[in-house]
């Protein structure tokens, strides 16, 4: 690119303003952390407090300024900036501009920083003076790290952060694009647009809710660290308890919203796939639930001090670890949610390890050990940077930190003087928290397989969804039983006879109703022919079903009989009912999920490719009516609205006389994004007892308006990579290979004729495969278009462009108008009683809100 080019109409002042806010936010957060640290030393207290608070306010204004600047750029389509160019375009509906904001790494870090300043300022205004300095010092230090993620500056070969205000011509990924050679390129370009999967209304509310949940884990964390800092292991838990349940509520809501988005927008046919990024948000929530319950033990009975610190700290550290997993690029293609690596892997590792080190340092009482640990930590960091061997040194440091933590706990940490009774509430709440912690560790282990593969150069495959379920069902059963019975225990000691008497009615009802349901559901059909693993699955499903009913009835009984139906005190019971219903709904809807789209046509769907199976794929020709489950379905045709192509289906049932009655219609959609490719979006019919879930796996996107017979339609441009698939009206075309007559070196040394051939394999509905070989011809730096006609299928191909930076090619395909009827391939599933799951989500959130309100009321009634 010619560096002397004078570009026209670039609005450089916006990026300069944004970068000014980025630098100011970093410096202000750093000064705030320093100010709060010296404020905690109780020297010149009022001056340091004023300085720290002012710096944090400046930092908050700067974060808001960064967000406002980025929004302004997105709303006004400032494509000279790389972030805007990558994530938006002129056709972007207004409601999805917010999704553009947090689609990229920089925007999501900014969203995280924004919620942190919101919660930080609320905390700063409401916290007791005793805890202000240590909590806000850690809070501000976290903001230093997040602000550094937005810098995008280099120190030699090391990159610190990724800047949202870099110009598109300064981004190495786009610097060589031809349009950047033009002075007025802004008059000619459009952005690349949003990922099609994110063009869904859930994605305008799910990410901000989830990131608010991530931010909320910071508050219990800073309280727990402040407790270590002040050597006060108890009193911090009272103000932290309300924040902990707020975190449980908002992070849980964000996770459930993600499940709803996956169910409505993704085409894997479900709401949870144990995806690594899904797991990375679930695990901190599980640990935070455990932290909240051990805090309740401490509030009512005392004790469990180490567990409260461990779980409150671990929840936030796991959020940092999930940040590393999601943004370091280490997950590769194992998650649909993961960001690509922007060169910040080392920075993210340091981010996580810094806060681990701070927690270990504050846990150490002996000054000599503390100083020695810090010196060893910095020496290990120095040797790792200078001499390498980073993995070995990291493992050594983790081992040292673990040993020191155990030593400090045994030697210095306060212990309970008396053991809890087996028949006490605190004992079983503690057991429940351990169950949650252990399940979180197991999920973390399986999720971390890509990390272990990289650390130890292994090639261990991630486990499958069925394996996750196999591991987690026993934990779910134990959790449900504990949720059912624990509240009937009293603190300190409970009369066993009274306890069993109280739970007996609920147990009998759950057992009778549960057995009445699970026997026909799981044991009357094909049980004798099931394998040993499947038999265990069926038995575990039955136990889980009964346990969920037991939890529901016990909590209803406790609410009505013990609490006298008072809602104010019933937050935990309501939340427990919701939790049990979530697991019950998930169990029934997934274990009894039915594929209703078995192919009943005469066409051989398997001939379309290995991804098509007659057991789950139905071929529907336009105008035909075929049986599908309890319905008859007709494909009426397609309708294009912008880049969205809807495939309209009518569903019928039969009345007593055998006459067809229209029941409903569905229009699953394929988004035809010219820059991002195609993306299938399901459509679902919701009934009270089940959902009918459908999505298109094959559909023709081209316009089928009438043209002269034997003429070719207007060509459609396809952008694809090796092994990608192109769909036509009567065939599926695979980019099989690409060959060339010259090597890159031969072509650069001589002004030769370069011929690149795309080898395409086209398979029709009958399974017959044809070969097409369109050629890309380059001579004297000029492309000579060459047309290839595949007469058997009425197709013409023009291979006209190669995109070396993206590794893709572009082929124009024209189709001859003929008498072949248009068809689609449809997959459809029936999810029974999935509304039980969604009802449970709502009830659990309501219960948690009720509990938060009651905690706040009690704090006001009994101030510290």
Note the maximum CA span of the chain. Answer: 95
pLDDT at 240: 93
DSSP reduced 3-state for 729: coil
774-800 mean pLDDT: 84
709-713, long-range: CB within 8 Å, 24+ apart, which pairs? 709/817, 709/818, 710/816, 710/817, 710/818, 711/816, 711/817, 712/794, 712/796, 712/814, 712/815, 712/816, 712/817, 713/814, 713/815, 713/816, 713/817
DSSP string, 103-170: HSHHHHHHHHHHHHHHHHHHHHHHS-HHHHHHHHHHHHHHHHHHHHTT--EEETTEEE---TT-BGGG
pLDDT at 271 over 70: yes
Question: pTM of the predicted model, to two decimals?
Answer: 0.83
Is residue 813 a contact partner of residue 686, using CB atoms and an 8 Å limit?
no
DSSP string, 152-206: -EEETTEEE---TT-BGGGSTTTTT-GGGGSTTGGGT-------GGG-STHHHHH
818 versus 275: which is more confidently predicted? Answer: 275
Q: Report the chain's mean pLDDT, rounded to a whole number.
A: 86
Tell me how far apart the alpha carbons of residues 631 and 826 are, in angstroms, rounded to a whole number: 14
Q: What is the dihedral of CA 739, 745, 749, 754, to 10 degrees?
A: 10
Q: How confident is the model at residue 697 (pLDDT cuts 50, 70, 90)?
A: confident
Closest-CA residue to 735 (of 756, 762, 717): 762
Is residue 427 a contact partner of residue 421, using CB atoms and an 8 Å limit?
yes
Expressed in percent and rounded to 5, the helix, strand and coil fractions of the chain are: 55, 15, 30
Q: How confident is the model at residue 331 (pLDDT cuts 50, 70, 90)?
A: low
Q: How confident is the model at residue 745 (pLDDT cuts 50, 70, 90)?
A: low
Residue 483 token pair: 């949720």
Tell me how far apart the alpha carbons of residues 424 and 173 are, in angstroms, rounded to a whole number: 62
Q: How confident is the model at residue 529 (pLDDT cuts 50, 70, 90)?
A: low
Sequence-ordered list of residues with C-beta below 8 angstroms from that of 483, at least 6 positions apart, any chain: 432, 551, 554, 555, 576, 579, 580
pLDDT at 443: 93
pLDDT at 1: 45
33-40 mean pLDDT: 93
Is residue 829 a contact partner of residue 618, using CB atoms and an 8 Å limit?
no
Unique residue bearing structure tokens 């553009």: 100
Q: How confident is the model at residue 863 (pLDDT cuts 50, 70, 90)?
A: very low
Per-position b or e across 171-189, b if 16+ CB within 10 A of its CB: beebeebeebeeeebbeeb
Q: For 424-473, write each residue's pLDDT tens digit.
A: 888 999 999 999 999 999 999 998 888 888 777 777 878 888 888 889 99
| Percent with pLDDT over 70 in the chain | 91
Q: How confident is the model at residue 43 (pLDDT cuts 50, 70, 90)?
A: low
For residue 758, the surrounding DSSP H or E stretch is strand 754-764
DSSP string, 415-434: --SSPPPTTSHHHHHHHHHH
Q: How confident is the model at residue 701 (pLDDT cuts 50, 70, 90)?
A: confident
Residues comprising the chain, all counted: 864
Tell me how far apart the alpha carbons of residues 320 and 355 are, in angstroms, rounded to a whole number: 9
DSSP string, 819-831: SPPPEEEEEEEEE
Q: How confident is the model at residue 315 (pLDDT cuts 50, 70, 90)?
A: very high
Angle at 48 between CA 43 and CA 52, to 5 degrees: 145
pLDDT at 269 over 80: no
Q: Is 724 exposed, middle or buried (0-12, 13-18, 19+ CB in 10 A)?
A: middle
Tell me how far apart the alpha carbons of residues 172 and 155 are, in angstroms, rounded to a whole number: 17
Q: How far is CA 837 from the centre of its chain?
A: 19
Q: Is 100 exposed, middle or buried (0-12, 13-18, 19+ CB in 10 A)?
A: buried
pLDDT at 707: 46
DSSP string, 554-569: HHHHIIIIISTT-STT
Residue 267 token pair: 């085409």
pLDDT at 528: 58
Q: How confident is the model at residue 503 (pLDDT cuts 50, 70, 90)?
A: very high
Q: For 598-630, write each residue's pLDDT tens digit.
A: 887 767 776 666 777 778 888 888 888 888 888
pLDDT at 841: 94
Is residue 14 a contact partner of residue 186, using CB atoms and an 8 Å limit?
no
pLDDT at 318: 92
Is residue 668 a contact partner of residue 653, using CB atoms and an 8 Å limit?
no
689-716 mean pLDDT: 75
Which phi and psi (to 5°) does residue 148 adopt? -65, -25
Q: For 56-83, write each residue's pLDDT tens digit.
A: 999 999 999 999 999 999 999 998 899 9
Q: How confident is the model at residue 3 (pLDDT cuts 50, 70, 90)?
A: low
Is residue 287 a contact partner of residue 318, using CB atoms and an 8 Å limit?
yes
Least confident of 99-103, 209-213, 606-610, 701-705: 701-705
Least confident of 435-449, 558-572, 729-743: 729-743
122-146 mean pLDDT: 93
User: Which range has the top average pLDDT, 534-538, 549-553, 597-601, 750-754?
Assistant: 549-553
Tell me how far apart the alpha carbons of residues 190 and 185 are, in angstroms, rounded to a whole number: 10
Q: How confident is the model at residue 726 (pLDDT cuts 50, 70, 90)?
A: confident
Enumerate the β-bridge partners of residue 712. Answer: 816
Unique residue bearing structure tokens 């007469």: 791
Closest-CA residue to 503 (of 551, 470, 535, 462): 551
Is residue 334 a contact partner of residue 279, using CB atoms and an 8 Å limit?
no
Tell me how far apart the alpha carbons of residues 130 and 860 are, in angstroms, rounded to a whole number: 17
What is the Cα gyration radius of the chain? Answer: 30
Residue 79 token pair: 């494509």
2 versus 172: which is more confidently predicted? Answer: 172
pLDDT at 655: 84
Angle at 186 between CA 183 and CA 188, to 5 degrees: 95
> 609-706+822-832 has which CATH code?
2.60.98
pLDDT at 165: 93
pLDDT at 861 over 70: no
Q: How confident is the model at residue 338 (pLDDT cuts 50, 70, 90)?
A: very low
Is residue 81 a contact partner of residue 19, using CB atoms and an 8 Å limit?
no
Q: How far is CA 160 from the centre of its chain?
A: 25
Tell me how far apart the alpha carbons of residues 645 and 639 are, in angstroms, rounded to a whole number: 6
Q: What is the dihedral of CA 322, 328, 329, 334, to 10 degrees?
A: -10
DSSP string, 688-713: SSEEEEEEEEE---S------TTPBP
175-178, long-range: CB within 8 Å, 24+ apart, which pairs? 175/1, 176/1, 176/805
């Amino acid at each position: 690119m010619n560096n002397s080019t004078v570009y026209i109409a670039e609005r450089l002042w916006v990026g300069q303003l944004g970068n000014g806010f980025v630098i100011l936010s970093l410096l202000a957060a750093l000064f705030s952390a320093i100010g709060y640290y010296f404020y905690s030393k109780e020297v010149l207290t009022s001056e340091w407090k004023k300085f720290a608070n002012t710096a944090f306010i400046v930092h908050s204004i700067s974060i808001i300024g960064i967000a406002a600047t980025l929004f302004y750029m997105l709303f006004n389509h400032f494509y000279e900036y790389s972030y805007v160019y990558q994530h938006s375009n002129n056709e972007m509906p207004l409601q999805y501009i917010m999704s553009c904001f947090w689609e990229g790494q920089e925007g999501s870090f900014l969203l995280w920083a924004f919620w942190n300043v919101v919660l930080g300022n609320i905390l700063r205004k409401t916290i007791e003076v005793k805890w202000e300095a240590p909590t806000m010092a850690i809070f501000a230090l976290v903001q230093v790290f997040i602000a550094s993620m937005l810098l995008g500056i280099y120190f030699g070969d090391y990159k610190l952060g990724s800047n949202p205000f870099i110009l598109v011509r300064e981004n190495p990924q786009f610097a060589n694009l031809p349009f950047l050679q033009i002075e007025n390129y802004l008059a000619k370009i459009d952005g690349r647009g949003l990922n099609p999967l994110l063009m869904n209304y859930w994605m305008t509310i799910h990410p901000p809710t989830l990131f608010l949940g991530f931010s909320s884990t910071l508050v219990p964390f800073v309280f727990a660290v402040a407790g270590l800092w002040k050597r006060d292991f108890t009193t911090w838990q009272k103000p932290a308890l309300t924040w902990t349940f707020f975190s449980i509520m908002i992070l849980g809501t964000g996770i459930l919203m993600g499940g709803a988005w996956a169910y409505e927008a993704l085409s894997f046919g479900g709401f949870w796939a144990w995806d690594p990024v899904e797991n990375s948000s679930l695990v901190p929530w599980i640990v935070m639930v455990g932290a909240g319950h051990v805090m309740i033990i401490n509030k009512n009975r005392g004790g469990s001090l180490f567990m409260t610190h461990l779980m409150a700290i671990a929840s936030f550290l796991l959020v940092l670890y999930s940040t590393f997993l999601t943004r370091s690029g280490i997950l590769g293609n194992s998650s649909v949610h993961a960001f690509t690596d922007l060169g910040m892997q080392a920075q993210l590792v340091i981010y996580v390890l810094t806060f681990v080190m701070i927690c270990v340092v504050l846990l150490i009482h002996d000054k000599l050990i503390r100083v020695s640990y810090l010196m060893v930590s910095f020496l290990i960091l120095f040797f790792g940077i200078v001499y390498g061997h980073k993995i070995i040194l990291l493992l050594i440091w983790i081992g040292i930190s673990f040993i020191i933590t155990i030593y400090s706990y045994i030697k210095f940490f306060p212990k309970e003087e008396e053991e809890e009774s087996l028949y006490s509430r605190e004992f079983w709440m503690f057991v429940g928290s351990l169950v949650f912690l252990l399940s979180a560790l197991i999920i973390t282990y399986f999720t971390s397989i890509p990390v272990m593969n990289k650390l130890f150069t292994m090639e261990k495959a991630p486990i499958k969804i069925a394996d996750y379920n196999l591991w987690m069902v026993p934990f779910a059963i134990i959790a449900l039983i504990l949720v059912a019975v624990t509240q009937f225990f009293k603190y300190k000691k409970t009369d066993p006879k009274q306890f069993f008497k109280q739970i007996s009615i609920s147990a009998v009802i759950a057992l009778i109703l549960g057995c009445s349901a699970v026997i026909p559901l799981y044991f009357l059909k094909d049980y004798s022919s099931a394998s040993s693993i499947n038999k265990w699955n069926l038995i575990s499903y039955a136990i889980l079903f009964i346990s969920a009913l037991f939890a529901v009835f016990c909590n209803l009984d406790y609410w009505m009989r013990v609490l006298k139906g008072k809602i104010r005190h019933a937050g935990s019971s309501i939340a427990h009912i919701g939790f049990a219903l979530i697991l019950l709904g998930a169990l029934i809807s997934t274990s009894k999920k039915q594929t209703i789209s078995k192919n009943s046509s005469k066409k051989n769907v398997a001939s379309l490719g290995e991804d098509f199976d007659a057991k789950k794929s139905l071929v529907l020709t336009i105008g035909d009516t075929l049986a599908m489950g309890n319905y008859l379905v007709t494909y009426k045709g397609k309708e294009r609205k912008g880049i969205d192509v809807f495939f309209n289906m009518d569903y019928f049932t039969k009345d007593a006389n055998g006459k067809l009655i229209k029941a409903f219609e569905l229009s699953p959609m394929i988004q035809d994004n010219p820059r991002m490719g195609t993306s299938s979006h399901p459509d679902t019919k919701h009934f009270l007892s089940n959902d009918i879930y459908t999505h298109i796996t094959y559909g023709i996107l081209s316009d089928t308006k009438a043209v002269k017979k034997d003429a070719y339609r207007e060509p459609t441009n396809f952008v694809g990579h090796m092994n990608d698939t192109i769909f036509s009206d009567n065939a599926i075309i695979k980019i099989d290979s690409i060959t060339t007559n010259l090597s890159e070196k031969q072509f650069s040394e001589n002004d030769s004729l370069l011929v690149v051939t795309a080898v395409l394999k086209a398979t029709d509905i009958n399974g017959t495969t044809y070969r097409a070989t369109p050629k890309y011809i380059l001579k004297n730096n000029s492309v000579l278009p060459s047309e290839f006609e595949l007469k058997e299928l009425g197709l013409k191909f023009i291979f006209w462009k190669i995109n070396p930076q993206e590794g893709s090619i572009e082929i124009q395909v024209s189709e001859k108008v003929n008498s072949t009827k248009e068809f689609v391939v449809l997959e459809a599933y029936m999810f029974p009683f999935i509304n039980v799951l969604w009802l449970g989500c709502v009830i659990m959130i309501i219960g948690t809100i009720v509990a938060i309100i009651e905690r706040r009321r009690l704090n006001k009634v009994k101030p510290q």
